[in-house]
Amino acid sequence: MDNQYGAIVLCGGKSTRMGSAKALLPFGPELMLQRVVRIVGEVVPTENIVVVAAVGQELPELPSGVAITYDENPGRGPLEGLAAGLLALPENIEAAYATSCDVPLLVPGFVERLFALLHKIDNTEHDIAVAKDQKFHHPLAAVYRTCVLPNVEALLAADRLRPFFLFEECDTREVPVEELHTVDSHLRSLMNCNTPEEYEAALRVAGL
């Protein structure tokens, strides 16, 4: 477990399609947010995890050491949450895995692989490693070096809210999802629960 790695878990969305708060959905003996925090806690130290919530949002009990911060300007997408999370990370963190709270089938090896893919053969590093499915990037299945924070803040100030703009500006390693099958054969780490039907499907896959 590398003390210079952290994780950012975004859970402040409105959950409009789900109809109820995704962070509080039961998943076995845990609630959804608790499960995702536990899984990323298998890869990075708990004290290096930041949960980004909406102001006034109800949250379940989380392990001591997990930091909670809030979207400064809610409703502006993942870049806003990413900025809040990067700002709240401990100062020693060099890179963080960013995820939503609605991926209960996240595989620790998937997270580990993306951290590993930051490194280049010449011992330098990419700024970002992001999973990509054909033309579609998964900005919340990605690792970001903390040095990208000024880029994120500049994009937010310019109202350029698409994560793709950040990938354009930074040294980004786009990781085809086919390369991730070796650590997550069914790519369940990318199975978001945005609707009741997707939630029920995830429960079935987990045998719950």
Q: Assign 30 to helix, strand or coil.
A: strand
Gyration radius from the chain CA atoms: 16
Cβ–Cβ under 8 Å, residues 2 and 77: no
For residue 71, say whether it is annotated as part of any ligand binding site: yes
For residue 85, say whether it is annotated as part of any ligand binding site: no
For residue 184, say whether it is annotated as part of any ligand binding site: no
For residue 22, say whether it is annotated as part of any ligand binding site: yes
User: What are the DSSP calls for 83-107, one per residue?
Assistant: HHHHHHS-TT--EEEEEES--TT--
Cβ–Cβ under 8 Å, residues 191 and 184: no
Whole-angstrom distance, CA of residue 191 vs CA of residue 29:
20
Which of 113, 122, 126, 118 lies closest to 179 in space, CA to CA? 113
For residue 102, say whether it is annotated as part of any ligand binding site: yes
Going by the annotation, the residues of the binding site are 10-12, 22, 71, 102
Positions at the binding site for Mg(2+): 102
Binding residues for GTP: 10-12, 22, 71, 102
